[in-house]
Amino acid sequence: MGRILDVEKNLPQIRSLPKFNELEKAKRKVYEKRKSLRDMLEFYCPRCKREVRALKGSTMFEAWPHPLNLKMSEGVIL
């Protein structure tokens, strides 16, 4: 209960903290797009009995000059 009161007391100060600038927003959009691509390329391996996905920063995912192109990336993974 004490934490809630502390947050409510400092709410104006919390709201005055800086928001994301345009560069940070752009980086977050690229990250979100790349994450969604990895999610789409994920597949189930019956041998391992696990979901397999391209790791962040892996050479497999970065192999194509246009890594955000789903069709090209499917060829690398499959």
Q: What is the pLDDT of residues 14-58, one digit of tens each?
A: 889 888 899 999 999 988 988 887 887 788 889 999 998 877 777
Task: Provide the domain limits for residue 50.
Answer: 2-77
Residue 50: CB partners within 8 Å, gap ≥ 6?
44
Residue with tokens 């560069």: 23
Q: How many domains does the chain have?
A: 1
CB-CB contact of 38 with 54 (8 Å): yes
In this prediction the pTM is 0.52
Cα 43 from Cα 33, distance rounded (Å): 18
Residue from 68, 64, 40, 71 nearest 53 by CA: 40
pLDDT confidence of 60, banded at 50, 70, 90?
Answer: low
